[in-house]
Amino acid sequence: MKIISLLNMKGGVGKTTCAVNVATHLARDHGKRVLLVDFDPQTNASLSVMTEDAWDAWADGHGTMADVLEIRGRKERGEPRKLVDCILHDVIPEVPGLDLIPSHLALTFLDLDLAARPGRERIFARKIAKVRDEYDVILCDCPPSLMTATQNALYASDGYLIPMQPDYLSTIGLRLLQDRLGYLKHELEFKISCLGVVFTRVRGWLRYHAETMARLRSDKEFKRLHFFDTVIPENIKLKLAEAPMEAKPIDLHDSGASGAEAFRALTKEVVARLG
């Protein structure tokens, strides 16, 4: 398993925080060559590892996922930019080996822009094939939907990782997500398996969270989902929410924070599962 999509139709569950921090630890602690791909028009993953000024300069001079998915380059410049030209190498100086393809707000209307385009969900798969061998792991940070951007990520991916909060509506969401993924796999004809589900924003003092996690872990319906042992705690001191302001992962912002420790442990589990 090399290309992994982080996904959940629910918003704000910690997909981007997981993508950025797991990508960092894969490169830093395990020496992996990692590519982080930001599929979300909110550009949260991009702006968690680079400043807005750096993003502006990069988007102008090089390119973003808007070029990769051909909604900007073609219209504005005649020829689309190559995916390889959109890769920002060693995006965080302290984390060599972590590359990024930044996102762009223009992806907001991707579904409309590509509505009439045949094979619109396969564009990324076709292009990433050319650089796939240069990486050990490629992580795709998806928006909170299963529309065209996420379909492009899924179509190219070998596996997916679901960050979820351990509450009632998220449990329903998990079922819906499984259902829709099954539908997409069938209709678009791709193979993909679940690398695991990680519980995020866990409030250790809430019995309700502990009970939900225990129930899901033992539920036969979800046995193929392979819940990770590590859980990501809700960082009360907001260290996890603060770190992106410095364009840094939590480990570089405050390596002693409980969130940093959790992502180190989660990444170890991810590496073990990747084999």
Catalog residues that contact ligand ATP under the rule CB under 6 A: 11-17, 40, 42, 44, 143-144, 200-201, 232, 234-235, 240-241, 259
Residue 232: name its binding partner from Mg ion, ligand ATP, none (Cβ under 5 to 8 Å by kind): ligand ATP
Instruction: Give the Cα separation of 49 and 17 in Å (integer).
Output: 11
Smallest gap from Cβ 55 to ligand ATP, in A, equals: 16
Smallest gap from Cβ 198 to ligand ATP, in A, equals: 11
Among 3, 7, 10, 16, binds Mg ion (CB under 5 A): 16
Of the two residues 16 and 21, which places its CB atom closer to Mg ion in the complex? 16
Phi, psi of 250 (to 5 degrees): -60, -35
Q: Tell me how far the alpha carbon of residue 103 is from its chain's centroid.
A: 12
Of the two residues 81 and 201, which places its CB atom closer to ligand ATP in the complex? 201
Among 15, 81, 209, 253, binds Mg ion (CB under 5 A): 15
- Other Cβ atoms closer than 10 A to 31: 11
In the chain, the amino acid numbered 7 is L
Give the torsion sign (CA, 110, 242, 63, 190).
negative
First and final C-alpha spacing in the chain: 8
Which structure tokens are listed for 4?
Answer: 């992994």
Residue 13: name its binding partner from ligand ATP, Mg ion, none (Cβ under 5 to 8 Å by kind): ligand ATP
Smallest gap from Cβ 219 to ligand ATP, in A, equals: 23
Q: Is 2 exposed, middle or buried (0-12, 13-18, 19+ CB in 10 A)?
A: middle
Of the two residues 156 and 162, which places its CB atom closer to ligand ATP in the complex? 162
Query: Which residues are near Mg ion by CB under 5 A?
Result: 15-16, 44
